[in-house]
Structure 1
Amino acid sequence: MLVAAAVCPCPPLLVPEVAAGAAPELDAARAACSEALGVLAAARPDRLLVVGPADESGRGTYPEGTRGSFRGYGVDLAVRLGRGSGEGVAERELPASLAVGAWLLARHGWPKTPVEGLGVAPQLAPERCAATGREIGAHPGRTALLVLGDASACRTLKAPGYLDERAAPYDAEVARALGAADLPALMALDAGLARELKAAGRAPWQVLAGAAEGAGLEGTLLYEDAPYGVGYVVAAWS
């Protein structure tokens, strides 16, 4: 049963070593992520599942102790999922979104609750996202989710996807739905529009919606902004 969820963005720039001199620009987002993780810890889950977007090579499950790094961003910084030793874990590294999740958990000082990872293809159909979520929600014991994903990347002329006038209203609806734990609204997010707006969080959010069915969770919006022209949302469900 799902007992709590935290929704966080996953730009590598959240990691100060990656952001370098621009690190203070995301201090508010980092603080909100810490607050959301506090809600997860307070729920005392039996396990934590970290869910984030991943390309074809990064899809699938990741056991506790799986390693990740930010070397691809010019920073010699390694992370590990949860507190596992990593012994006996396959050499496949965490996708970037889950590496950010592992960094957030380490920064927060996550308790000894077991942690696993799930990489989800951004193009996964909504019904399959919901089905994956329902399987998670049916897991015995108290489950919490750390759900990673960014909204549109088209909020300004300098955004990665250039300016798209549909981006701001899309992100506003995403923030409203995540803040209200509005499951039907999250499931109604259009996969095609999300792809056009480069909103990689759509699939993980719909996994969350499936997992939360019947759980009766209430949401709180902790942060919503678009630094660098990319929509970032932080919310906590409990």
Structure 2
Amino acid sequence: MLVAAAACPCPPLLVPEVAVGAAPELETARAACTDALGVLAAARPGLLVVVGPVDGAGLETYPEGTAGSFRGFGVDLDVRLGRDRGATAGRELPYGLAVGAWLLERTGWADAPLEGRGVGAALAAERCVEEGERIAARAERVALLVMGDASACRTLKAPGYLDERAAPFDAGIARALGAADTGALRALDTGLARELKASGRAPWQVLAGAAAGNPSLEGALLYEDAPYGVGYLVATWS
């Protein structure tokens, strides 16, 4: 059963070494992420699953110990998803899960066993919800670290340019995450999310599915902003 969740943004710029001179601009977001991970630790889960976006329409598993890096952004920085339990072969972590691994390392996570789950950006809402239900059933006490960004179309200089639909779309997600509203997350428009380049759509719908078995969860919105024209949200469910 899901006992806690934290939703965090996943831009590589969240990592100070990647952001370099712009690093102070996201310090408030980093602090909110640290607080959110504290909620996960306080829940004392038996399993932590880090859910993040990947390309395509499938599902990918990244065992504990899987490595990732930010070398593709010109930074000599490697990360690892939890402890090295020998699961170091195979694919590297995609960027969203690498940012999640960095957050866990930054906060010194050493509690429950964990794994990464990549969710395809084109995965249908129903399958996302089913995946969440499956994850929640894996242990008596499950926690999720859900990585994903809202729209990338909030300003003229945003990666997706300005789209007038972006601000209300992001506001709806913020309300849903802050209220632990699983129905609103399930109902997110897949096509609109794709058009607005919202990488968090599928991971948030996995969260909605995982929370279905625990209606007592309460949400709290810790951070909401759109630096660089991209919507970043931090929230907790516990």
- Quickly name the TM-score band, shorter chain normalised: over 0.9
Cα distance in 2 for residues equivalent to 1:165 and 1:105: 35
Give 2:10's aligned residue: 10
Deviation at 1:84, TM superposition (A): 2.2
Deviation at 1:134, TM superposition (A): 0.7
Give 1:61's aligned residue: 61
**2:42 corresponds to 1:42:** yes
**2:222 corresponds to 1:222:** yes
Cα distance in 2 for residues equivalent to 1:212 and 1:98: 21
> Residues 182 and 71 from structure 1, CA distance in 2 versus in 1: closer, same or farther, beyond 3 angstroms?
same
Cα distance in 2 for residues equivalent to 1:81 and 1:183: 27
Q: Given residue 5 of structure 1, which amino acid in structure 2 is its aligned partner?
A: A
CA contact (8 A) 2:44 2:111 kept: no
Q: How many residues are aligned here? A: 237
CA deviations on 1:177-219 (whole Å, 9 max, x unpaired) are 0010000001110000000000010000000000000212100
CA RMSD in angstroms, aligned pairs only: 1.2
Give 1:108's aligned residue: 107
Report the secondary structure of 2:199's partner residue: coil
Q: Which runs of 5+ in 1 are unaligned?
A: none
Give 2:79's aligned residue: 79
Cα distance in 1 for residues equivalent to 2:80 and 2:31: 21
Q: Which runs of 5+ in 2 are unaligned?
A: none
Cα distance in 2 for residues equivalent to 1:163 and 1:139: 41
Deviation at 1:47, TM superposition (A): 1.1
CA contact (8 A) 2:56 2:121 kept: no
**Which of structure 1's runs of 4+ aligned residues deviate more than 4 A?**
none
Give 2:97's aligned residue: 98
**2:210 corresponds to 1:204:** no
Give 1:172's aligned residue: 171
Deviation at 1:89, TM superposition (A): 3.1
Identity %: 74
